[in-house]
Amino acid sequence: MGDMKTLKFKLYQHKRNRHLKRTINAAGVIYNHCIALHRRYYRMYGKYLSCAKLQSHIAKLRKRNSFWQQVGSQAVQDICQRIDKAYQLFFKHNKKGVRPPGFKKVKKYKSFTLKQAGYKFLSGNRVKIGSKVYQFWKSREIEGTVKTLTIKRTTLGELFMVVVVDDGSSEVEVKTGRIAGFDFGLKTFLTCSDGTKIESPQFFKQSLNAMTKAARQHSKKLKGSSHRERARKNLVRKYEDISNRRRDWFWKLAHELTDKFDVLCFETLNLKGMQRLWGRKISDLAFGEFLQILEWVAKKKNNLVIFIDQWYPSSKTCSSCSHVLENLDLSLREWRCPSCQSVNGRDENAALNIQMVGASSIRLGDVRQAMPAIAV
């Protein structure tokens, strides 16, 4: 099997798109019905409802319901499988605070997925979904075997087509033989063990005034009015613009770092705890999203991302002589080692220690490519 690639295309705005939106709504109704069935089954029998039982029951109901029939049988199976997967995760990790899947507002339900059937690519930029033909912006060629096709609705009501293809090729391995440690920070986004610092553009902070103004305009409008809907779309557009700019920066940075280093070492992050402490600042820096993108890029290039234990005292350990301080206040950005007298910059020192621990874990053969090693 080759590499799986995800391609995203925007659909042309057209009257017939309402059919796809109606299908997404129907998928949302089926999703909520499945959740209700799961809960009722557990209340009655004290047991978990298996995916096969759920699928056969929903298939029977679908025969009697014309609204549900808008959603193809494969898309219905995909909904059942997704809910099943979410429940499996809940049973496995409920002690860690993972919640079971819950009901979703149909208006906010986002997508449906087709696997082998229910769609056909025609010449040019056209695709047949069900019995209707839609056009999309063909920003790149679709090469390889199409595995799934998903229609997604954004908060603005625009439609995108997400295609997963198996292109049968594997990436060429290019090795630099270099290893680096990285320390995330609130002041500097990343400090590298080679001394370079990467500042975060903090896109949300840059746009804070415009966001506040748009939110105020929205709250002033009369509920249910067309003016309020226009103001909501304006606010959503601003949020999307921020997340698009941030994501673009993350992809470029991930490629830059993986071209420069073969092995990249990080501390495991407790994102929930950081969120509680620093709130919006952590959301704007979006460390978790960056790590997911970096791991994906590293996997494609056959690079290695290593996570060291989050309790390792990377900032308090002297990178020259390994002396460990009893405590180090967050406000102290620099400290002199009482043992070897070397002066350590807090973040640079932490990055060097993370690099050393990461390198030793490779030598010990204790490398597990954490996917994704984030404590939640």
How many angstroms separate the Cα of 245 from the Cα of each of 78, 239, 241, 255?
31, 10, 6, 16
Helix axes 287-300, 226-260, angle to 10 degrees: 50
From first to last of its 376 residues, the chain has per-residue pLDDT tens of 557 788 999 999 999 999 999 999 999 999 999 999 999 998 888 888 899 999 999 999 999 998 999 898 889 999 999 999 998 888 887 777 778 889 999 988 999 999 888 899 998 899 999 889 999 999 888 888 899 999 999 988 899 999 998 876 554 454 556 888 888 877 788 888 888 888 888 888 888 889 899 999 999 999 889 999 999 999 999 988 988 999 999 999 999 999 998 888 888 776 666 666 666 667 777 888 898 899 989 888 888 888 887 666 666 677 667 666 666 666 666 666 666 766 656 667 677 777 777 777 665 444 444 333 433 3
144 and 184 inside one domain: no
3-state secondary structure of 270: strand
161 and 186 inside one domain: no
- Among the candidates 166, 193, 217, a domain finishes at 166
318 and 361 inside one domain: yes
Please state, as a whole number, how many other Cβ atoms lie within 10 Å of the Cβ of residue 298. Answer: 20
354 and 289 inside one domain: yes
278 and 154 inside one domain: no
The span from the CA of 43 to the CA of 132, in Å, is 42
The span from the CA of 280 to the CA of 286, in Å, is 10
Residue 155 lies in a domain: yes
Residue 209 lies in a domain: no
Residue 125 lies in a domain: yes
260 and 337 inside one domain: yes
Q: Which residues contact 40 (CB under 8 A, 6 or more apart)?
A: none
83, 86, 66: which is closest to 23 by C-alpha? 66
134 and 271 inside one domain: no
Please state, as a whole number, how many other Cβ atoms lie within 10 Å of the Cβ of residue 112. Answer: 29
- Among the candidates 143, 166, 189, a domain finishes at 166
158 and 184 inside one domain: no
188 and 328 inside one domain: yes
How many angstroms separate the Cα of 1 from the Cα of each of 82, 144, 149, 165, 166?
23, 11, 19, 11, 7
Domains contained in the chain, number: 2
Residue 74 lies in a domain: yes
pTM comes to 0.67
Structural domain of residue 158, as residue ranges? Answer: 4-166
Is 33 in contact with 64 (CB distance < 8 Å)?
no
- Per DSSP, helices labelled H in 127-225 are 203-206, 208-220
Q: What is the CA radius of gyration of the chain?
A: 25
186 and 157 inside one domain: no
160 and 183 inside one domain: no
Please state, as a whole number, how many other Cβ atoms lie within 10 Å of the Cβ of residue 4. Answer: 12
